[in-house]
Amino acid sequence: MHGRFIALEGGEGAGKSTQAKLLVDALEARGLKVQLTREPGGTPGAEAIRKLLLDPPGEGWGPQAEALLFAAARADHVARRIRPALERGEWVISDRFVDSSRAYQGSAGALGDTAITTLHEIGSGGLRPDLTILLQADDEQVAARLAARDGDNSDAIGSRNSAYHRAVAHAFRRYAEEDPKGFAVIDAGGDPETVHARIMDTLAPILEG
């Protein structure tokens, strides 16, 4: 039996990492074999690229170089971890996937969706999750979460200005509207357990199918 692939998406501070861990615990409690992973990262090669992206050398990367690095990290991640796990019948839960590149580099970075999806087709065969869970929280809650997580030490992408992050949020909303079957929009407001319950309700048809 082929496994299932679920990606969690959203802007900075939406709670993706917390919810990914809670989801993995819940799926394992049901007896499923589950891989928890993240982007950029998930394999030794992709984690090395992550360091270059989030703590860039010198003056940092331009949008084109940044998009290429993300695509390279994802290609390794898909080839060495995600596809093999799915072929073994395992579930894969990823904290971010290609829609982050579409939102951050394609939309906010102005490279355009076609460029990002073409890179994804070349590098990763156009792989899509079975479902993308888009977490959305209000600005106050996001700010509180970021302050608790990062303090004054945001990474190179998280520290970009508010206009950039508004463009990212707008792009995610647009993708969900354009692909309602591929996306589930989840209210990320409230405590982690409440948000987790919303996610499990959303996943019920897949779990029962």
Q: How far apart are CA 164 and CA 110, in angstroms?
A: 10
pLDDT of residue 73: 98
Predicted local confidence at residue 38, as pLDDT: 98
Mean pLDDT of 126-144: 83
pLDDT at 150: 52
pLDDT in tens, 162-194: 888 889 999 999 999 999 999 999 999 999 999
How much is the pLDDT for 181?
97
DSSP symbol at 209: -
Which residues are CB-neighbours of 29 under 8 A, at least 6 positions away?
Answer: none
Query: Does the pTM exceed 0.75?
Result: yes
Asked if 7 contacts 132 with a C-beta cutoff of 8 angstroms, the reply is yes
**Residue among 9, 3, 2 nearest 179 (CA):** 9
Q: What angle do CA 85, 15, 109 make, to 5 degrees?
A: 85
Q: How far apart are CA 182 and CA 176, in angstroms?
A: 8
Q: Domain boundaries in the chain?
A: 5-208
**Looking at per-residue confidence, does 209 or 127 come out higher?**
127
β-strand 183-187 against 34-38: which pairing, if any?
A: unpaired
Residue-wise pLDDT for 136-155, tens only, equals: 987 666 555 555 655 556 77
> How sure is the predictor about 120, in pLDDT bands with cuts at 50, 70 and 90?
very high
How many Å apart are CA 36 and CA 196, to the nearest integer?
16
Residues 61-69 have a mean pLDDT of 95
Calculate what percentage of the chain has a pLDDT beyond 90. 80
d(CA 157, CA 101): 12
Selected residue with higher pLDDT from 151 and 24: 24
What integer pLDDT is reported at residue 2 of this predicted model?
84
Indicate the length of the chain as a whole number: 209
What would the CATH number be for the domain defined by 5-208?
3.40.50.300
